[in-house]
Amino acid sequence: MYRSNTCGELRIADKGKKVTLAGWVQKARSLGSMTFVDLRDRYGITQLVFEGDPGLGREYVIQVTGEVLERESKNPKMPTGDIEIKVESLNILNKAQTPPFTIEENSDGGEDIRAKYRYLDLRRAPLQRALALRHRLAQEVRTYLDKQGFMEIETPYLIKSTPEGARDFVVPSRMNPGQFYALPQSPQTFKQLLMVAGYDRYFQIVRCFRDEDLRADRQPEFTQIDCEMSFVEQEDVLNMFEGMMRQMFKNAVGVDIPDPLPRMSWYDAMDNYGSDKPDIRFGMKFHEISDLVKGCGFSVFDGSEYIGAITAEGCAEYTRKQLDELTEWVKRPQVGAKGLVYIKVNADGTIKSSIDKFYTPEQLQKVAEACEAKAGDLIFVLCGPKRKTQTQLGVLRIEMGNRLGLRDPKVFAPLWIVDFPLLEWSEEDGRFYAMHHPFTAPKPEHEKWFYSDKKEDLERVCANAYDFVLNGTELGGGSIRIHNADMQSRMFEVLGISKEDAEYKFGFIINAFKFGAPPHGGLAFGFDRVCALFGGQETIRDYIAFPKNNQGRDVMIDSPSLIDQVQMDELFLESKVKA
Ligand code: ASP
Q: Whose CA is nearest to atom 1 of ligand 1?
A: 188
Which ligand 1 atom is the nearest neighbour of the CA of 481? 7
Pocket test for ligand 1, best of 437, 466, 520, 527 (most atoms within 8 A of CB): 437
Which ligand 1 atom is the nearest neighbour of the CA of 440? 7
CA of 257 to the centre of ligand 1 (A): 24
CA of 220 to the centre of ligand 1 (A): 16
Give the helix ranges, DSSP H, for 30-73: none
Distance of CA 3 to the CA centre of its chain: 39
CA of 508 to the centre of ligand 1 (A): 19
CA of 477 to the centre of ligand 1 (A): 6
Alpha-carbon span 491 to 502, nearest angstrom: 10
Alpha-carbon span 51 to 244, nearest angstrom: 54
CA of 193 to the centre of ligand 1 (A): 14
The pTM assigned to this predicted structure is 0.93
User: In the prediction, which pLDDT does 42 show?
Assistant: 95
User: In the prediction, which pLDDT does 577 show?
Assistant: 87
Residue-by-residue pLDDT tens, the chain, 579 positions:
899 999 999 999 999 999 999 999 999 999 989 999 999 999 999 999 999 999 999 999 999 999 999 999 999 999 999 999 999 999 999 999 999 999 999 999 999 999 999 999 999 999 999 999 999 999 999 999 999 999 999 999 999 997 767 899 999 999 999 999 999 999 999 999 999 999 999 999 999 999 988 776 899 999 999 999 999 999 999 999 999 999 999 999 999 999 999 999 999 999 999 999 999 999 999 999 999 999 999 999 999 999 999 999 999 999 999 999 999 999 999 999 999 999 999 999 999 999 999 999 999 999 999 999 999 999 999 999 999 999 999 999 999 999 999 999 889 999 999 999 999 999 999 999 999 999 999 999 999 999 999 999 999 999 999 999 999 999 999 999 999 999 999 999 999 999 999 999 999 999 999 999 999 999 999 999 999 999 988 789 999 999 999 899 999 999 999 999 999 999 999 999 876
User: In the prediction, which pLDDT does 375 show?
Assistant: 96
Which H/E stretch holds residue 28? strand 18-30
Describe the strand order of the beta sheet including 201-209 as a list of residue ranges: 151-152, 201-209, 221-230, 520-526, 473-480, 465-470, 414-418, 263-265
Q: Is 361 helix (H, G, I), strand (E, B) or coil?
A: helix
Q: Whose CA is nearest to atom 7 of ligand 1?
A: 478
Ligand 1 binding pocket, CB closer than 6 Å: 186, 188, 437, 477-479, 522-524
Q: Distances in Å between the alpha carbon of 45 and those of 14, 78, 163, 464?
A: 16, 8, 50, 52
Q: What is the DSSP letter of 179?
A: -
Q: Which of 199, 295, 252 is nearest to 518 (CA)?
A: 199
CA of 564 to the centre of ligand 1 (A): 37
- The answer to whether residues 30 and 53 touch, using CB atoms and an 8 Å cutoff, is yes
Alpha-carbon span 330 to 52, nearest angstrom: 64
Can you give the C-alpha Rg of the chain in angstroms? 30
Pocket test for ligand 1, best of 188, 195, 277 (most atoms within 8 A of CB): 188
CA of 369 to the centre of ligand 1 (A): 43
Which ligand 1 atom is the nearest neighbour of the CA of 478? 7
CA of 524 to the centre of ligand 1 (A): 5
User: How buried is 395 (Cβ within 10 angstroms: 0-12 exposed, 13-18 middle, 19+ buried)?
Assistant: buried
User: In the prediction, which pLDDT does 215 show?
Assistant: 73
Which ligand 1 atom is the nearest neighbour of the CA of 522? 8
